[in-house]
Amino acid sequence: MNYYKKYVPYLFLLPAGIILLVFFFIPFIQTIILSFKDYSSSIYHPDWVGLQNYFKLMQSPVFYKVLINTFLYLFIAVPILATVPLFLAILINQKIKGITLYKILIYLPVIVSIVVAAIAFKWLYAEQGILNFAMQKMGFESIGWLTDTNFSLISVIIVTIWKGIGYYMMIYLAALMSVPKELYEACEIDGAGFFRKHLTVTIPHIMPTLALVSTISAISAMKVFAEIYVMTKGGPLNSSKTIVYYIYERAFENLDLGYASAMAVVLLIIVMAFSLINIMCFEKNKYQI
């Protein structure tokens, strides 16, 4: 009986292990193998070229442009997605009338399909759309939100932020329930104001959740695809093209699977680096032996 009990935990882990093997490890190994091949001559009989695809990446100005766009996406979207939902969660966590309605309204964008949201914002950003109409009424010139290289990327980022605020707000709301009420009462007795109370009590208690939201939003920002595909196709002049969309373009439009696989490996390394940074900065005490 003890012999069987010893292996029971492994039986429970087996389904998750099979799923990881089939949907992560096997595709990951295949992607690495594909990155060492050249499909330009034949998609059915590729040539083995070693690290040539990686050397091409390092010499490609388009790749560097795409990489810069990806990091811009990351550094603009993530701070907003990590702080604004927290502020909203703190406000909604107060005892106010109609709190359920506010939660529904803020969370509503999350349940809307990203494709539907992107199409709606594309109409909103159109040359004769509502935004330009309002700006003309206020005496300003219309802006090419999706056709101007200065505005195309930020216009797509706004959609990502609008779509994600409600989701991360709910994560923060769940974390706020674990903060002891007695600490807030002690702060009020000491005369601490609203902001001081949350800086000294709320933020330290939900720091793991803050780290989680920062990591999730960073990975999501680096993998953004649907908004760009629907709204800009990476244009104009690659100004809104990120690395995931560029991988899709080279793999499925140009059928350059080796080059796209090399970019996918680079993306995986970057994502893993951000995850390690998160562990070192926020959760290093968990992994100390």
- Domain holding 196: CATH number? 1.10.3720.10
Residue 70 tokens, joined: 């990806």
Q: What is the pLDDT of residues 5-21, one digit of tens each?
A: 777 888 888 899 999 99
Model's pTM, two decimal places?
0.86
> Would 153 be classed as within a structural domain?
yes
Residue 64 pLDDT exceeds 90:
yes
Residue 92 pLDDT exceeds 90:
no
Residue recorded with tokens 């992607």: 31
Q: What is the pLDDT of residues 199-212, one digit of tens each?
A: 788 888 888 888 88
Residue 3 pLDDT exceeds 80:
no
Asked whether 39 and 46 are in contact (CB, 8 A), the reply is yes
H/E element holding 196? helix 194-197
> Would 79 be classed as within a structural domain?
yes
> Would 141 be classed as within a structural domain?
yes
> Would 215 be classed as within a structural domain?
yes
Domain hosting residue 107, numbered range: 72-233
> Would 226 be classed as within a structural domain?
yes
Residues near 50 by beta carbon (within 8 Å), at least 6 away in sequence: 36
Q: What is the pLDDT of residues 163-213, one digit of tens each?
A: 999 999 999 988 888 888 887 778 777 777 777 887 788 888 888 888 889
Mean pLDDT confidence for 252-267: 91
Q: What is the pLDDT of residues 33-51, one digit of tens each?
A: 999 999 887 888 888 998 9
Residue 251 pLDDT exceeds 50:
yes
> Would 124 be classed as within a structural domain?
yes
**Closest by CA position to 211, among listed 279, 287, 286:** 279
> Would 5 be classed as within a structural domain?
no
Q: Are strands 47-48 and 37-38 parallel, antiparallel or unpaired?
A: antiparallel
Q: What is the rounded CA–CA span in Å between residue 225 and residue 149?
A: 18
> Would 169 be classed as within a structural domain?
yes
In this prediction, residue 214 has a pLDDT band, given cuts at 50, 70 and 90, of confident
Residue 84 tokens, joined: 């604004």
Number of domains in the chain: 1
